[in-house]
Structure 1
Amino acid sequence: MESTPTTSARPDAVAGIPMPALRNHAATHQEHLLEDLRRIVHAETPSHDKALLDAGLEVIRTLAVERLGEPQAEARTDGGVHGDVLDLRWPGRDVDGGEITELESSVLSVCHYDTVWPAGTITGWPLTAEGDRLTGPGVLDMKFGIVQTLWAVRALRELGVPHAPLRLLLTGDEEIGSTAGRPAIEAAAAQSALTLVPEPSAAGQPKDRRKGMVFADLTVHGVQAHAGLEPEKGASAVHALAAVVPDIVALASPDDGTTVTVGTFHGGTSRNVVAGQATCQVDVRVTEAAEQDRVAEGLRALRLPQPHAADPRLRLEIAVDANRPPMNPTPASRAAMDRVERLAAGLGRRITPAAVGGASDANFVSALGLPVLDGLGAVGEGPHAVHEHILVSEIAPQTALLAGLLADVAARP
C-alpha cells in the first residue's frame, strides 16, 4: 500500500466495526475471491459487443447469487445497443440479526462491467499472476470492484456484523459515456443512503475530484476529384477540417485545468483523391461546471475559416456531448469521506483523497449533491493499457474498507 500508516495504535474496532477481522476474512478467502475474479475477467465484455455483454452479465449475476443468494429484488433494463443495466438488492442485518430492507437505508455500489478490450483479447492475455501483480484485461477497470462488493457483504454476514442493505447496480456502457447507465445511476443514488463506486483507487487512496468531460465529433463534407487531372473540381474536406483544428485547441485553458485534445482525425479515400469527407473526435476535460459550459458552447460555435468558409461545397457538422459533469467535494461527500478516514484508521491507514483527470459514474452522483465515494476499488496500475494489473496484497484491506462502510451506514445512519 502506498498510503501512509497512522502513528496511533490500531484499534480492534471502529465504532463497533471489527476492521481487522473484516480484513482477515478477505485474506482467508482470497483464493476464492481470485477464482471469482478469473470467472468474470474471462467472460469478455467489450463495450460495443452486445452479445458478449449479455453473456458476461449472466456470468456476473450467477456469481452474485452463488455468493449472496437470490436477491430480494431484481430489475434489468434493456440498454438497446449498449449493455443492459442490472439492479440487484439484498437485505441488510440489524444488531439483533433481523433484516433491514428499507430502500432508503441501502448502500448503492455502482459497478460497470464493460471494458475497453476487444473480443478475443483473453486468448492471448488470460488472467495471470506475476508475483504480487495480477494482470488481465479489465481486472483493474473495474471487474475487481464487482467481486470486492460481493465479498465485502459475505464477510459481514459470516462475521455477524450488522450492515446496511446492498444495492448492486451493474452497468454496461461506462467506457463509452454511460448513455444507458446514467438514468439508472441517478435514480438509484437518489434512493440510497450512500453511493460507492469501486473504480480503481489512486495508489490505494479514494478519489474526491474528477474532471468533467465534453465529447465532440466534427465532420466536414466536401467534393471528391482527381488530385492530378482536375483538382480544381474538388473541395477538400481534409484541408478544411485541418484549418478548424487550431480553433478547437484554442478553447483549452490550462490555468483553469481545461484541456482540449483532438484524439482522432480521419479523411479521404486515397493519396490521389481530393478528400470528400473528413472527421475528427475531440476530448475535453474540465474541473469546473462553468468551463464545461464555456467549451461546449465554443465547440458548437465553430465555423470553417476562410478561404474554406467561402466555398459553398464545404459543409461543417458538429455534434457536442457534455458527457459528465466535473466531480468536486460537496458537503454530503465530505461527510462520507469522514467515514472512510475513521474506518481506514482501524486498518492502520491514513486517507489522503486524490484528484484525477479521468471521469467515472461518480461524477453523475456528485453533480446531484448526493453522498458518493469513488476510487474504493483495486490498487494497481495500467487501466486501458497492456500492463493493466492489480496488487494481490491489497485485495484484503480494500475489501475490508468497503465492508466497513456498509457496516458504518447501518450503525450511523
Structure 2
Amino acid sequence: MGGLHKYLKTNEGQMKEDLIRLMEAESPTMDKQAVDACGDVIRGLFKDYFNETPTVYPETVQGDHLSFTIGQGTKARVLFLVHFDTVWDKGRLTIEEKDGRLYGPGAFDMKSGIIQAVWSIKSLFDTGISLDGLTIDVLCTSDEEIGSQTSRTLIEETASKADLVLVTEGPVHENGALKTSRSGVGIYELIVRGHSSHAGSHHHAGRSAIKELAHQILHLEGMTDYSVGTTVSIGIVEGGTRVNVVPDYARATIDFRVKTMEEAERMVKAVEGLTPFTEGVTLEINGELNRPPMERTPDTVQLFAMMKEAASKVGMDLEEAHIGGGSDGNFTSGIGIPTIDGLGGYGDGAHANHEHIVIDELPKRTAMIAETLKQLQDHGFTKQSD
C-alpha cells in the first residue's frame, strides 16, 4: 500500500465522519435554506482543512453556488466539478451503516464525491507532496438535479479556464468504471391541436389530436437507432376531455439521447421539424438540447490513461465506460475541455431508496485521485490539440 493510500486508509474514519455530516445536512434542490445549510458544511471543510473561503454566487430560488481555488501553479489548472443538492426531501431517507455500506441521502449522488475531492487534496498536503505547480478549482453547484438551470453558465465559464475537469459523480456501479463519455440529452414537449366534435353524430367533422399524437409517437420512437447510440422515449402522454368527444388537444414529452454532437444536431432538426400526418391539425414543439454529449476525445483518452496508471498504484484495475445519462461534465466537455466523470464513491442506488456507498472503497478511490494530482504536479497536462 503506497503512502497516499495508507494515509487515506488511516483516516477512513474521519472521511466517513465528514461524509455523514454532509449527508445530515439534507439538501433537496428546491429547499434553498437546506441547500445553503449544506453549503455551510462545505465551507467549514475548506476552512478547517485549507484555510480557504469561497467565492459565493448568490441565488434567489436555488441554493448559492460556491467556488474554491487552491494554489497558483501553472503546470495545470484542474477543475473539480461537484454538486451538493439531492433528489431527496428532508426525512425521506435515513442514514444507516450496515454490512460495510453507508446508506442515506446523497451518499452515492454525490456527497461522497465531494469528500473524495477534498481529501485527495488534503492527503497531498498532509504527506508533504508539493502542489505548487497546480491551480485547483473546486466548483460546488446547487441545482444539478433539476438540470443545472442557474449554474450552467458558471460551469462553462469556470471550465473554460481549466486544462481538465474531474467530475466526482459516482462511477458505474457494476465495476467502478470511470465515465469517459456520456450521452447528450434532448428534452422536448409536443402539443397537438385538432378540432373537437361529437364522437357519434359529427365524428367526421373532428380532427383527433390523440390520433395525430399516436402517429407522431410511432414516428419519434422509430428514430431510435441502437447502432449509433440514439434513443427516443416518449415519457408522458395526455389529452382529451370526455369519452364522447373527438379530442382537440393532446400532449407528449420527448426524451432523446445521442452520443455525438453531429447526431445531436440531426435529432434537434428532426424533432423541431416535425410536421402533421393529419390535415387540419397543428403541432407546437418546445424544448432544447438540454445537455450536449460528453464525447470521448483523444484528450479524454490521454487523461484516462493517466488515471488508469494512478489507479494501478493503489491496486485498482480501472475500466472506462459510456453512460446514457448526463451530468454537468457534459457542459464542460461540450466546450472542449477534457473531462472524466465517475470519480466519486463506489456504490449504487442513485435516486433509489437503497442509495449507498461501500465505505472501504472511499480511501482507495480518493487515493486514485490524489495520485492523479501528483502526476499532474510532476508532468502537467498537454492537450493533443495544443
Q: Distance in 2 between matches of 1:41 and 1:236?
A: 50
Residue equivalent to 2:383: none
Are 1:346 and 2:328 matched, yes or no? no
- Partner SS, residue 304 of structure 1: coil
**Paired residue secondary structure (1:376):** coil
What are the residue-to-residue correspondences of 1:224-373 with 2, within 5 Å? 237-268=209-240, 277-306=249-278, 309-311=279-281, 315-373=282-340
State TM-score, norm by structure 1.
0.82
Provide the identity percentage. Answer: 35
Asked whether 1:115 is paired with 2:115, we answer no
User: Residue 322 of structure 1: CA displacement?
Assistant: 1.0
SS at match of 1:165: strand
Q: Which runs of 5+ in 2 are unaligned?
A: 381-386
TM superposition score normalised by structure 2: 0.87
Displacement of 1:42: 2.5
Counterparts of 1:125 and 1:223, CA distance in 2 = 47
Determine the structure 1 residue equivalent to 2:77: 106
Gaps of 5+ in 1: 1-11, 13-19, 92-100
Secondary structure of the residue aligned to 1:106 is strand
1:14-413 to 2 correspondence within 5 Å? 20-71=2-53, 74-79=54-59, 81-91=61-71, 101-102=72-73, 105-117=76-88, 119-120=89-90, 123-163=91-131, 164-202=134-172, 203-221=175-193, 237-268=209-240, 277-306=249-278, 309-311=279-281, 315-413=282-380
Given that residues 104 and 191 in structure 1 are in contact (C-alpha distance below 8 angstroms), is that contact kept between their aligned partners in structure 2? no
> What is the CA–CA distance in structure 2 between the aligned matches of 1:389 and 1:272, rounded to whole Å?
50
1:328, 1:366 within 8 Å by CA — same for their partners in 2?
Answer: yes
Query: Shift of residue 226 of structure 1?
Result: 8.5
CA-to-partner distance for each residue in 1:260-314, whole Å, 9 max, x for gaps?
00112234567677656443221111112221111111111113321xx415xxx
Aligned partners of 1:345, 1:335: CA distance in 2, in Å? 16
Q: Secondary structure at the match of 2:254?
A: strand
Provide the secondary structure at the position in 2 that maps to 1:387: coil
Please tell me whether the aligned partners of residues 171 and 343 of structure 2 are also in contact (alpha carbons under 8 angstroms): yes
Distance in 2 (CA, whole Å) between partners of 1:233 and 1:57 is 59
Q: CA deviation at 1:400?
A: 0.7
C-alpha spacing 1:328/1:124, structure 2 compared with 1 (3 Å)? closer
Q: Say whether the 8 Å CA contact 1:343–1:405 is kept in structure 2.
A: yes
Equivalent residue number for residue 97 of structure 1: none
Q: Tell me, yes or no, if the aligned pair for 1:197 and 1:373 is still in contact at 8 Å.
A: yes
CA–CA distance in structure 2, aligned partners of residues 174 and 336 of structure 1: 24
The two structures, once aligned, show a CA RMSD in angstroms of: 2.7
Aligned counterparts of 1:269 and 1:253: Cα–Cα separation in 2: 35
Of 270-279 and 209-218, more deviation after overlay is shown by 270-279
Residue range with higher mean Cα deviation, 294-303 or 102-111? 102-111
Q: Return the offset for 1:394.
A: 0.6
Which residue number corresponds to residue 8 of structure 1? none
- The aligned amino acid for 1:77 is Y
Counterpart-to-counterpart distance in 2, 1:48 and 1:240: 36
Deviation, 1:70, is 2.4
Q: How many residues align?
A: 376
Name the CA distance, whole Å, in 2 between partners of 1:270 and 1:104: 67
The corresponding residue for 1:15 is none
Which residue pairs with 1:6 in the alignment? Answer: none
Asked if the contact 2:75/2:379 (under 8 Å) is kept, the reply is no
Contact 2:93 2:353 in 1 (8 A): no
Deviates most, 163-172 or 390-399: 163-172
